[in-house]
Structure 1
C-alpha cells in the first residue's frame, strides 16, 4: 500500500482542531488551591448555605431550616506528636463526608478539636526534661507543697507541648485540604471548654451519679494512676507465673469428718492463681455450692497431706504430676459442705479463722474449683466480700511496689519495696516454699508452679502490665443510666452495622466509670477534703453548691490556681462550710474531657441529635463514643419534666479500621514499616522517575532522585479508595495504583479542557439528550446514558458513606467507558469533522466534564480547583463552580423503556467492540496491520436484525454504518446480509462468527479498499494523496469556498 508523504500530512495540519490546553501533567501551586478549597470555601458556605431549595416554611430562629445544616462533630486527636496515616484516614474521611453534604446544599458545621490533657501528653512533657519525674505528682487525694510545685512545673510543660503539637498537626491537616473552621478550633485546655465540662460534672454530682469509694480499679504502676477500661489494651501472649497453693484448714465440718479419718492428716484447700503477688491480700476462699469436691492424696508425697479440689478438675491437676498418681480419699463433698463450719489459715499474714464463701463465678473450667479472694485486687472478689463486711486491703503503692500495710513484720521485711509483678512475686513464693516460717507447715505450701500464657491488660500508652488495686477513687454511676443509653442507640444509624452491637456491649459491660486520675495535667476534680488538726483527711466534700463556688473561683483565677494558690487559701471554701479544708489533687479522666465536647455544638430542636455524624476509629466504641453517649444521657436524665425519649448526641456513627502495612501488619517503629503521610504526598514510596539521558554530558551520579509527586490528592484518593469498614492496607502496590488513577484523571481533564477550548454554551445545551437542536450520534447517547448511570451510582455510594464504591464507579467510567471507547470514537469528529458534528460532541463532553468535577469534588478538591483554574473562560462562565453547586445525579431525560433499550444496545456494542479488538490484535501480531485505522470490517448480519424495527436496526441498519466506524475505530464498516456474496475477492486477515442478540454474526477483518486520507488518516480517499469526501467538504468550509 502506497503511503502519502509526511509533508502532505503537514500541509493539512492547520485545518485540524487539535486540543489546546496548558493544564499541567503534575499538580501546580498547591498552596493557592488549598486556600481556595478550604478556608475560602468554608467561609462561603457558612454565608450562602443552606441552598434555597432546602429552605422550608418552618425555619429556625436564624431563618433557616435546621435540616439544612449538617454537623460533623470532630473527635479530638491527642495533641502529643506528629501526624501519621491513621490521622489522615480519619480526617480525610470526615472531610469527604462534609464536602459531599455541602454538594447537597447543606450548610456544614465542622470545628476541628484537640484532646490536650492526660497521661500521654504529661509523660512526653516529663521525658523532654529528664530531671523532672512524675513520681511525686500522682498521689491520691490531698498532696504536699512539694507535690504542688511539681504539678505546676509539669502543667506548664504539658501545656506548651500540647500547643506546639496543635500548631504542627493543624498545619498538616490543612495541607491535606481538610475544610473546617480552623480559626475557632476547640481545645480541651481552653478555659471555656473546661467550664462547660465542670458544669456537666456538677449536674452529675447533683443527680447523685458521682461518688467516692475505696474499691478495686485498674492501676498502671508505669503511669502511677488509675485507668478506665477504655485506657486498656491487651497482650494476647502475656506470660504469668501460675502456682498451686495450699491453705491449711483449721476447723473441719461434720461432713468432712465423715469422709475420712482426719486425726492423723493435715487437710488443705488447694487454690490456683496467676497472680501470686495478690496472696498477701487474701481475705477468703470461694467455692461453688453446686460443684462436687473431692479429698485427694499423693501416696508418694505424704507430707502434702490431704488436698481438697473440685472433682471435675482432678484430671487437669494430675497432668502436673505424671509420675505420681493421685488418689481420691472417701466420698465426694458438696460445695455447701465447705461453707459450713470450715475455716483456714492465711500463712502469709499469720491469720487464722479465715472464711470459706460461696461465689457464683467459681467454675470448673479452670484452676481447682477453689478461688482465693483478695477483694483489694479484684472486682469479683470485692463484690463477694463487700456484702459480708470483709475489708479490701491492698498493700501496694502507686508504683506497684509492696508496702507493709496490714502485713506482719516477718513478711513485710521480705517483700516491702519490691515490684509486685517481678521481685515481689519471687519473694512471696520463696517465703511460701520455706515451711520453717510457719508453725503449722512442715512442707512447702507451693504444690506446683508453671508458666501460663494468657490475655492480660496493659497500659495503652506505656504498653506495660497493669494491676488491679483498691484505692479511694471518684466514680460515675453509669449503671443507673444504662437502659436509657441503650434505648438512645436504637435510633442511631451505624456504619458498619456491626458497630451497634459493639457499642451496646461496651455499655452493658460497664456499671461504673472511674473518673479520677492521679496526675497533674488535667481538669481537677473539684473536691474539698475536711482535715483534722493533725492534717489527716476526715471526709471528702463535693456538692453542687461547693462546685458552683469553685467554678466561680476558676472563672476569676483560672484552672492553674487550683495548684498555685496556697494550700489553705480560704477563697476556695464556700462560706457555709466550717472547719479546715484542703483541695484535692485528682484530675478527671480525659475521656470525660472529650466526652463532654458535645456541649460546644449548636443547639437544635429537642427531637434532633446535636450532631449528624460522629466518625472515628473502631477503638472509640469503648472510648469517645461511649463517654459522649454516657455524659449526654446523664445530662438528659437531669432535666426536670423531660418528655423527649433518650437521645444520643449523634444521628449516625461511622467507624473505620486501623492502618496496616502491605503485608497486613500493624505499623511500628520496631518493625520499620511505619509510613508517613508525607511519603505518600511526595511520592517517595514509589520508584523515582527515570532521568532523561543527556547528550554529550556526563550524568551527575550525586543528583537527588525525582519522585512522581501527586500531592495531597494522592493521600486523599488512597483514603477514598479504601474500604474503611475494615483495617486499611497501605504500601507501594496500592500507592502505584492510586498514582496511576490520579494521572488518568489529569490526562482526562487535560484532553477535555483542550477539546472544549472553543466551545460556547447555549441554553439548548442544558438537556442535549432530548433537544431537537442536537444531532447526537449513537455514541453520544451511549456516553450520556453511561454518565447518568455513573453519576447516580456515585451519588448513592456517597449517601451510604461508601466512598470506596464511589471511586470504583468513577474509575471504571473514566478508564473503560470514556478513555477506552467514547473518547477514541470522538477524536476523528473533534479533530477533523465538520463544525456541527464537532459541536454536538462538545456538548456531550461539556456535561462529562461538569459531572466528573462534581463527582470528584469531595475526594480530590485540589485537582478540581486546579481544573477550574485552567477552564476556558467561556466554559467557566456557563458552569457553576463544582465545589459550590448543588449536585444531584445527572439525568438524560430518557424514560425507563428507553434506558433499558440503551442498556441492551451498550451490551451488544461492547461485545462487538471487544471481538473486533481481538481480531485487530491478531492481525497486528501477524504483522498485517499497524494502526487500527489501517483495517476495514465486514459484518454479515441476518436479515431479521437489519429489518427489525426495534433497536437492533439502530445498530446494524445501513444508516449507522458510519457511526460504527467511529465506535469500532476502523476506516470503514460494511454491513452485509448473511447470504450476501458481493464481498468479492478481498484479503481477509482474521474472521470469526459470534453470537449477538441471539443470532450468529460473521466478522471479517481485512485491509481497507480505499487510500489513506492525508488529513484524517482514515482510509476513505478514492485516490492516493487526495482528501476523503468528508475532509474535502470540511476544508472548503474552513476556507470559506
Structure 2
C-alpha cells in the first residue's frame, strides 16, 4: 500500500528505556555501597552460619600513615577472593586486622608530641610514649578502616583486631609461653643487627640492603709474636713477621680478638723493607702492585700451608703493646678471592666471627654503645681517643689514624650494606644481650609444612623456603617502650628468669592490671613475681619484635586459613614469622594457611617504584574521582566512577609481578567501566517480559553459547586467582560478542520487531561475572531491573555461582553443532565489515543496511551457512544475503576473503536490490512502502 512520505513511524518503535544512569550518581552510591558490602557480608554470615567457613586471614597493614595505592591493590584483591567464594555458596570469614606496635609509630607519635611543645623537646616516660603511640595508632586505624570500606571491601569490621588490643596481646603472650615451655626462647650475648638511628636491635626482616654504600677499606699489618715450630723451620731467621688483613669495617679493629686463615689455602711470605708479610699466595701479585707500587717485594718463603700458620700468636696494638697475644685460627669462610687471605675476627661485631670464636672460647666484646659510639673500653690505654665518636661517621678514620704505620693502604669500597628499613640509615653488627627464638629446632618442621601449601605464583615457594633455611635464630627483643613486653624477670646480678610458671603468672597479672602496669608499677613490685621465687627481682624493659606480634595473628582464627595474600616482601616478613610461630606453638603439623598468594609493588608508568620522596605517588581517591584522567570537555560531565574504577584497575592487573599504574592504564579501565554501564543500560532497556515467550532464534542461541563459554572462562580464572584474565575475557566478550555482534544484530528486532531475544540471560550473566570485581555497578544495575523481574524475587547475582547453567534446557534447545559453526560465521562477518569499510571510505554507503551480500563459499561451507539462511541478514546486519556466485552487473562492488571450512570464502557487497523501509530502514521494501514485517507489526 503506498504511503505518504510525511508519516512518522517513531511512535511505533520499541526504543530501549531504562532508569539506569550512564554515570553513577554520587547521591545514590552510599546505599549501593552499604548493600554490596556490609549487608552482603552480614547476610551470608547469617544464612550460612552452619557451614565450615572459608577463611581469608588478613596480613595486618601498619597503622602509621595514609592509605596508598599498594593498600588498594592488596585489600581489593582480598575482597575479590571473598566475593568469589560467596558466589560459590561458601560462608566467608574475613576479619580485618592492624599491626599497631613498633618503632615507626613510636617515633611518629613522639614527633607529633614534640610539635605540641613550645621548645620542641619532649620528656615523655615509657607510659607517656605508649599513650601517645596508642592514640596515634587508634586514629590511624579509624582513618584506614574508613578508606577500606569506601573501596567496597566487605568484612567483619565490627570485630576487627589490632595487635594492641588486650585480647590479642594475651594470646600473643600465650604463644610466647608455649615456646618458652618448649625451650625455644633463650637469652644470649651475641652479635645482632643494631640500628644506632633507632637505638634497637633488628631482625633480618627489618633490613634493606643498599647496593651503592661506600665503606672505608684498609689493609692492616698485625705483628706476629710467636709461630709454631714447623713454621719456624720454613721461615728460618725471619724477625719482623706480620699478618696482613683486609677489612671494610676498620672501626671494628678495637674488638679484634683473632685472625683467621684457611687450612687448605697456600700462603707466601714477602719482604718489604724490614717487614715480612704473610699473604695468600694467589693474592701476592695483585697486592704487591696495590700496596707497593714503587718497589718489588722480595720473596721470602712460599708453599706454606694455612694449617702450619695456625697456632701463631699476634698482638692487637690497639689494646696496647703489652696486651695478651691473640691466636691465629682456622675458619671455613676464609677465601683468597679478595683481600689478603687472612681475616680479622671481631666476634662482637660479626655473626660468623662469633660462631668461630665462641667454639674456641674466645671472648666477644663490642665497645660500642646504643648510639653507635665508641665506649671508653675501645682503647684501654687511651680511653679518650675514641670515646663518644660515631663508628659510622668517621670512626674508621680515627682508628686508622691511631694505627699509624700499621696501615698499608686505605681505599673507598662500594658494596652492598644493610640499612634500617624504617630510618633508611645504615646499621652495624654489635654484640648485646638479646632474646632469641630458636628457629633451628623448628625449621625442618616448618619446611615440611610448606609441602601442603599452594603458592601463587609458584616462585614464592623457593623464596620463602630460602629465608627459612637461612635462619637459625630470630632476635625477638627490641629496646623500645611501644610494644608487648618480653615477660622476663632479672635478679640483682642481671640473670634472667623466664620459665613456664613465671610467664603464666605474668600473663595472669596483665589480665588483672592491664599491660601498661608493666611500666607503671614499681620495678620491684612483688605482684609480678611468681610465688616460690626467692630473691629480689625486677621486670625487664625489652619489648617483642613487631614481626612476632603480627606473626602470631593466626591465633585470631579458629581454624587454618584458606588463603593469605600479601606483598612479595612478606616472604621475609609476615609469611615467615607466621610460619615459624605457628610451627613452634600451635600444636598443628600443617601450615597456618593452605594457599599463599603474593603480589608485586606498584610502579608509575615509567616503571619506577612509587615514593613520596620522588613525588610519583598516586592516591586511590584520584582514581575514584577520575582526576588523573585528561579532561575531555569543559562541561559538567564528571569522570568520577567511584570505587569500581579503583577495583577494576586492581582486578585487571597481573599482580604476580610489579603493577604499573598511570594515565594510559587508568584511561583504558575508565573506558571499560563506562562500556559496562552503557551495555547494562542497553540490556535493561531491552528486557521485555514478552521475550520469555518469543521464539529463540539461531542468533539468540549463538549469544547464549558465547555467554556460556565466557562464563566458564571467567570462572576458571577466578578459581585460579587470575583476576586479570577474567577481566580480559569479560572485556573481550562485552566488546566483541555482545556489543559489536549480538546487540548490533538485534537492534532491528528490538526496535522494530517482536522485541524478543535473550537480554535477561545476558544481563544476569554479565552481572554475575562483574559481581566480585565491580560490586557497586552490579548493585546499582540490580536496583534498576524492571519491576516485573523484581516481583519474582530472583537470587541476587552476588549469590549465584558462575558455574550454574546459563541456558534453561527446558526452554532452549541449542543446536549441538552451533558452537563449531560460530567461528565461521564470525569470520564471514569480519569480511563483510571489511568490504563495507571500503565502500564507506568512498562514501558509497553509510549504514551497513545499505548493502546486500553474496557469499561465495566452498561446498563444505555452504552447507553450514545454509543452516542459518533465514537469519543471515540479521546476523550480518545487511539487507539481504545470497549463497551463490556473485553477479557482475552492479553499480559497485567490494569483496574480502575469509577462512571457511574447505578453503577460502569471499564476501561480496553490492547496492541493495530493494527500497528502504521508512520504519526499519532495511532495504527490503517496495518504493514508498513499508516492508512486510513492518506492515504486520503496525497493522497498516
- TM-score in same-fold range (> 0.5): yes
Matched, 1:856 2:770: yes
The Cα offsets for residues 62-116 of structure 1, whole Å up to 9 and x where unpaired, read as xx353xx100010111110100011001110000000000100000000000001
- The 1:893/1:25 distance shift into structure 2, 3 A limit, reads closer
User: Which residue of 698, 701, 710 corresponds with 1:790?
Assistant: 710
Between the aligned partners of 2:215 and 2:101, the Cα distance in structure 1 is: 33
Whole-angstrom distance in 2 between the partners of 1:681 and 1:316: 62
In the other structure, the counterpart of 2:640 is 709
SS in 2 for 1:1008: coil
SS for the counterpart of 2:325 is strand
Does residue 691 in structure 1 map to residue 691 in structure 2? Answer: no
Report if the CA contact (8 A) 1:689-1:708 is conserved.
no
Q: Does 1:347 align with 2:317?
A: yes
1:306 to 272, 276, 286: 276
- Which stretch of the first structure deviates more once superposed, 504-513 or 398-407? 398-407
Q: Are residues 1:409 and 2:359 paired?
A: no
Alpha-carbon distance change, 993 to 407 in structure 1, aligned in 2, over 3 angstroms: closer
2:790 pairs, out of 856, 876, 879, with 876
Which residue in the other structure is 1:23 paired with?
20
Match of residue 1005 from structure 1 = 909
> Which residues of structure 1 form unaligned runs of 5+?
51-63, 138-145, 434-443, 532-536, 605-609, 638-643, 693-704, 766-772
The within-5 A match list for 1:563-582 is 563-582=519-538
Counterpart in the other structure of 1:267: 241
1:192 to 151, 167, 175: 167
Structure 2: gaps spanning 5 or more residues: none
Aligned to 2:844: 928
Aligned partner (choices 891, 895, 906) of residue 991 of structure 1: 895
Q: 1:214 to 1:131 in 2, by over 3 A?
A: farther
- Classify the secondary structure of the residue corresponding to 2:681: helix
Aligned to 1:607: none
Equivalent residues of 1:684, 1:707 under 8 A apart: no
Q: Is the 8 A contact 1:791 1:890 kept in 2?
A: no
Question: Matched residue of 1:716: which SS?
Answer: helix
**1:128 CA drift (Å):** 1.2
* Superimposed CA distance per residue, residues 360-396 of structure 1 (whole angstroms, 9 cap, x where no aligned partner): 1111222211111100011100000111111110001
Report how far residue 691 of structure 1 moved.
1.6
2:129 to 151, 154, 157: 154
Q: Once superposed, which parts of structure 1, at least 4 consecutive aligned residues long, lie more than 6 Å away?
A: 897-900
TM-score, normalised by the number of residues in structure 2: 0.95
- In the other structure, the counterpart of 1:142 is none
CA–CA distance in structure 1, aligned partners of residues 724 and 804 of structure 2: 18
Figure out how many residues of one structure are paired with residues of the other and give that number. 928
3-state secondary structure, aligned to 1:620: helix
Q: 1:984 Cα deviation (Å)?
A: 6.9
Q: 1:635 deviation in Å?
A: 1.3
Alignment of 1:382-531 (within 5 A): 382-405=354-377, 407-410=379-382, 412-433=383-404, 444-531=405-492
* Aligned equivalents of 2:74, 2:377: Cα separation in 1: 48
Counterpart of 2:46 in structure 1 is 47
| C-alpha distance after superposition, 1:644-667 (max 9, x if no partner) | 7x2111111111111111111111
Contact 1:787–1:890 (8 Å) recurs in 2: no
Match 1:221 to one of 185, 196, 208: 196
Q: Where do residues 796-811 of structure 1 align in structure 2 (5 Å cutoff)?
A: 796-811=716-731
| Distance in 2 between residues matched to 1:30 and 1:326, nearest whole Å | 83
Provide the C-alpha distance between the structure 2 equivalents of 1:688 and 1:213, rounded to a whole number of angstroms.
63
Using the alignment, how far apart are the partners of 2:880 and 2:199 within structure 1? 83
Structure 1 residue 1006, shift from structure 2 partner: 1.6
Counterpart of 1:918 (choices 831, 834, 839) is 834
Counterparts of 2:116 and 2:532, CA distance in 1 = 40
Native 8 Å contact 1:689 1:706 kept in 2: no
Choose the corresponding residue for 1:181, options 156, 163, 176.
156
- The 2-side partners of 1:7 and 1:85 are apart by 59
Of 780, 784, 788, the residue aligned with 2:700 is: 780
Q: Which residue of 2 aligns with 1:736?
A: 667
* Aligned-partner Cα distance in 2 for 1:489–1:93: 23
Coordinate RMSD, CA, aligned: 2.3
Counterpart contact for 1:612–1:652, Cα < 8 Å: yes
Separation of aligned partners in 1, 2:934 and 2:59: 63
Match of 1:547 in 2: 503
Aligned to 2:855: 939
Find the aligned partners of 2:896 and 2:728 in 1 and give their Cα distance. Answer: 33
Deviations along 1:466-491, whole A, 9 cap, x unmatched? 11110001111111111111111101
Q: CA 1:1023–1:327 in structure 2 vs 1: closer, same or farther (change >3 Å)?
A: farther
Residues 928 and 989 of structure 1 are in contact (CA less than 8 Å); yes or no, is this contact kept in structure 2?
no
CA distance in 1, matches of 2:832, 2:482: 72
Distance in 1 (CA, whole Å) between partners of 2:63 and 2:187 is: 30
**Residue 966 (structure 1) aligned with residue 909 (structure 2):** no
Is 1:116 aligned to 2:116, yes or no? no
Match of 1:956 among 853, 866, 878: 866
Give the whole-Å Cα distance in 1 for the aligned partners of 2:856 and 2:763: 38
In the alignment, is the contact (CA less than 8 A) between 1:295 and 1:332 conserved in 2?
no
Q: 1:901 Cα shift?
A: 3.5
Structure 1 residues 736 and 345, CA gap change in structure 2 (3 angstroms): same
**Residue aligning to 1:294:** 268
Per the alignment, residue 564 of structure 2 pairs with 614
Match of 1:534 in 2: none
Whether 1:626 aligns to 2:603 is: no
Once the two structures are superposed, residues 160-190 of structure 1 have per-residue CA deviations (whole angstroms, 9 ceiling, x without a partner) of 0000000100000000010000011001111
SS of the counterpart of 2:689?
coil
1:310–1:774: structure 2 CA closer, same or farther, 3 Å change rule? farther
**2:66 equivalent in structure 1:** 82
The separation in 2 between residues aligned to 1:1008 and 1:810, in whole angstroms, is 36
Query: Displacement of 1:886 after TM fit?
Result: 3.9
In structure 2, C-alpha distance between the alignment counterparts of 1:597 and 1:671, rounded to whole Å:
34
| One of 600, 611, 618 as aligned partner of 1:668 | 611
| Paired residues of 1:687 and 1:707 also in contact (CA < 8 A) | no
Q: 5 Å matches for 1:636-655?
A: 636-637=586-587, 646-655=589-598
Specify whether residues 111 and 280 from structure 1 end up closer, same or farther in structure 2 by C-alpha distance, changes over 3 A only. Answer: same
The corresponding residue for 1:906 is: 822
**How many Å separate the matches in 1 of 2:859 and 2:465?**
66
Q: Map Cα deviations across residues 671-702 of structure 1 (whole Å, 9 max, x no partner).
A: 2111111111111111124124xxxxxxxxxx
**Which among 135, 156, 163 is matched to residue 138 of structure 2?**
163
For residues 329 and 900 of structure 1, the distance between their equivalents in structure 2, rounded to whole angstroms, comes to 93
Contact kept, 8 Å, 1:688 with 1:707, in 2: the verdict is no
Q: Map Cα deviations across residues 455-514 of structure 1 (whole Å, 9 max, x no partner).
A: 111111101111111000111111111111111110111111111111111111111111
